[in-house]
Amino acid sequence: MRTYVDIVKKVLESGIKTPTRQGTPAYAIAGAIFEHDMSKGFPLLTTKKVPFRLIATELEFFINGITDKKWLQDRNNHIWDEWASPLKAPYGHDEASKKRMLEERDLGPIYGFQWRHFNAPYKSFDTDYTNLGIDQLKKMVETLKNNPRDRRMIVSAWNPIQFGEMGLPPCHYSFQVTVINGKLNLLWNQRSVDTMLGLPFNIASYALLLHLLAKETGLEEGKLVGFLADVHIFENHFEGAKEQLLRDTEKYPLSKIETENWKSIFDWKSSDTKVIGYESYDKIPFEIAI
């Protein structure tokens, strides 16, 4: 995972101090590319421990178009706890706003909703949206099976019409797949990149999605590419970032993943996929910026 560590190094060395919405200053660069060949292993960081279970359950949440954060909490996944639909719990840094956001379970029409029901009128997390909106993920799968050389297989979560209803406008806002020489490649676009906390999750999540799409279509796993825009490290993450640069990227080999009980990507459960042979350095704690 030298590619990831090189991005961290570049931000530390050349990032420009900038103010942020969260209040904590960050050091940012304009543009970076993450690239990984899936034949070399699953890109779960080895320079710090990354919780695959949380990544997998969040992806299952997205694939099923769920917008109720209690679904994640019931699976002991709390990465969306602090966010909520701004129509029900308006965003704010004051304690009263934070409390309302924490208690509200509706996240609004975020990632998975747009993947499966793009632009359908949003009412609530418990509304039945069957056959409403555009099921972009289903269309992608159908195209992969029927016309794999199509160059328009894109899923977008970027829907400005519904920004005001989303708990968080999408940071990784679209992904595309291409098939070249029998290999499925996945390329994602990300507008805002929390390098230390978010990016390791994003890498593993899209790698897992690539794996699932390849199983769905019988294609080989190819390249994973991330086009990253505002790439930043928060000031309070600096010490952890420096610690990571001291760690040997070659000490541990990359793990592999295996998926059992396979029916289809739409029936997949996060518990069906296991990480094989994962070893890493210890966790580095980073405080999340809300």
Where in the sequence numbering do the catalytic residues fall? 171
Please state, in angstroms and rounded to a whole number, the distance separating the CA atoms of residues 126 and 106.
9
Please state, in angstroms and rounded to a whole number, the distance separating the CA atoms of residues 226 and 206.
9
* DSSP per position, 192-223: EEETTTHHHHHHHHHHHHHHHHHHHHTPEEEE
For the beta carbon of residue 171, count every other beta carbon within 10 angstroms.
Answer: 18
Whether the CB-CB separation of 156 and 231 falls below 8 Å is answered with no
Phi, psi (deg, nearest 5) at residue 211:
-55, -45
- Joined together, the tokens standing for residue 18 give 């900038």
- Judging by beta carbons within 10 Å of its beta carbon (0-12, 13-18, 19+), is residue 12 exposed, middle or buried? middle
DSSP element (H, E) containing 273: strand 273-276
41: left (phi over 0), alpha (psi -120 to 50) or beta: left
- Joined together, the tokens standing for residue 247 give 């760690």
Q: Which residue has the tokens 């709390």?
A: 78
DSSP element (H, E) containing 225: strand 220-234
Of 172, 183, 287, the closest CA to residue 237 belongs to 287
